[in-house]
Amino acid sequence: MPRRVFVVAAGSSRFGERWEAGQAELAKEAWQDAGFRGKIDSLFVSSMASGAFTEQEHLGPLVLSAIGSGSVPSVRLEAACASGGAAVRQAFLSVRSGEHDVVAVVGLEKMTDVPPDEASRILSQASLAEDEARTGATFPALYALMARRHMHEFGTTEEQLAAVSAKNHSNACLNDKAHFRRTVSVDDVMRSPPVSDPLKVLDCSPVSDGAAAIIIAEEGVARGLSENPAEILACEQASGPLGLCARTTICGIPAAASAAKLALEKSGAKLSGIDLAEVHDCFTIAEIMALEDVGFFPRGGAAKATERGETALSGSVPVNPSGGLKAKGHPVGATGVSQFAECFLQLSGRAGKRQVKGARTALTHNVGGSGATAVIGILSGEVGRK
């Protein structure tokens, strides 16, 4: 029988331009923030491009030494910006199968040690090199194509995109680990410089440094490690074509829709019972598409719902209470792990001023590249809550 799997601890470094810290220091900061003092059986590390950003590969043992966890198996996983979600899924499967009892996942990326143009070039390697990256199509350009098509088909407006940014910046002001802790208005977003029409600077997530950590355990062990563990009901991954040119639609991400359908089926959860979601808002249009791919809103409905405040912290479906990638920051290898960490804090009632009242069930949505990889997690805090 597959075993039940629980998150028992989670932590994060501060996200931002961390000139003073290397990868090992960021990992240690996240680990210490998690406050876990037990032993682990294995470590999964997620990072998209550590070699390109820092000239350091072989992160498994590097991070293992930084967190002081002996000589257990340690390995790095890569799935572009979905590296974190993919690493959590492998850890989940290793515990669920009975191979290990307690497993750690540490996601990290150190991105600001290279010039911005070089960072953009490195990130573009997660797109289709021959048909996209080598022709100069950066990720802002690819998501701008998605935005324009979404506007054409559903009437989505630039102001509605800006509402996503304003909402997530507001949430990030309540998160002391966030890269950007300042409010922006819809007008601020609209007036910010263009990057790739219709996307502007404040429609785009920043280049960030940071790390996040979670520790998961099987049910019997979990109850002895945490008073308020959060069960991972499902963690599903799906894939799609690497390039936009090979897809039948660019108004959404089919891999995310497929992974969400599987996760909901395997967890037995209903979307109507999801109390909050952490979704991959690398660009404002990405959050809108995520909400439609998962099924929270019909196609063309998420932008209007955002404008009405339905995805705000006090709305019917709070989305990205952490501030999301847009304002919390997007150290790409850390992002998926950070989503699970935020959901654990919310479900254990420890999210402070950004706490979603009565949160019992949460969803994570992590995407790689322009959507060729997607990982959906569903967590429940019902068991162990006081």
* The pLDDT of residue 56 is above 50: yes
pTM of the predicted model as reported, rounded to 2 decimal places: 0.97
CATH code for position 12: 3.40.47.10
Q: Smallest Cα–Cα separation from 282: which of 230, 228, 336, 244? A: 336
One domain for residues 49 and 181: no
* The pLDDT of residue 378 is above 80: yes
Look at residue 281 and tell me if it is in a domain.
Answer: yes
Q: Distance of alpha carbon 290 from its chain centroid, rounded?
A: 12
Among the options 81, 204, 251, 282, which is catalytic? 81
Provide the percentage of residues in the chain whose pLDDT is more than 70.
Answer: 99
Yes or no: say if 262 and 234 are a contact pair by the CB < 8 Å rule.
yes
One domain for residues 136 and 247: yes
Residue 386 pLDDT class (50, 70, 90 cuts): very low
* The pLDDT of residue 161 is above 50: yes
Among the options 150, 169, 179, 330, which is catalytic? 330
pLDDT at 23: 98
Mapping DSSP onto H, E and C, the string for 313-346 reads CCCCCCECCCCHHHHCCCCHHHHHHHHHHHHHHH
pLDDT at 133: 87
Question: Structural domain tally of the chain?
Answer: 2
Q: Smallest Cα–Cα separation from 272: which of 299, 304, 298, 295? A: 295
| Neighbour count for residue 177 (Cβ, 10 Å) | 24
Residue 134: what residue type? R
pLDDT at 384: 37
139-154: per-residue pLDDT in tens? 999 999 999 999 999 9
Report residue 125 as tokens: 């390697």
Pairing relation of β-strands 361-368 and 230-239?
A: unpaired
Look at residue 386 and tell me if it is in a domain.
Answer: no
Q: What is the mean pLDDT of the chain?
A: 96
Look at residue 268 and tell me if it is in a domain.
Answer: yes
One domain for residues 263 and 181: yes
* The pLDDT of residue 26 is above 50: yes
List all residues 6 or more positions away from 224 whose beta carbon is below 8 Å from its beta carbon: none
Average pLDDT over residues 245-260: 96
| Neighbour count for residue 19 (Cβ, 10 Å) | 8
User: Is there a catalytic annotation at residue 150?
Assistant: no
Look at residue 310 and tell me if it is in a domain.
Answer: yes
pLDDT at 169: 98
Domain of 186 in residue numbering reads as: 123-205+231-380
* The pLDDT of residue 382 is above 80: no
User: Is there a catalytic annotation at residue 251?
Assistant: no
pLDDT at 120: 94
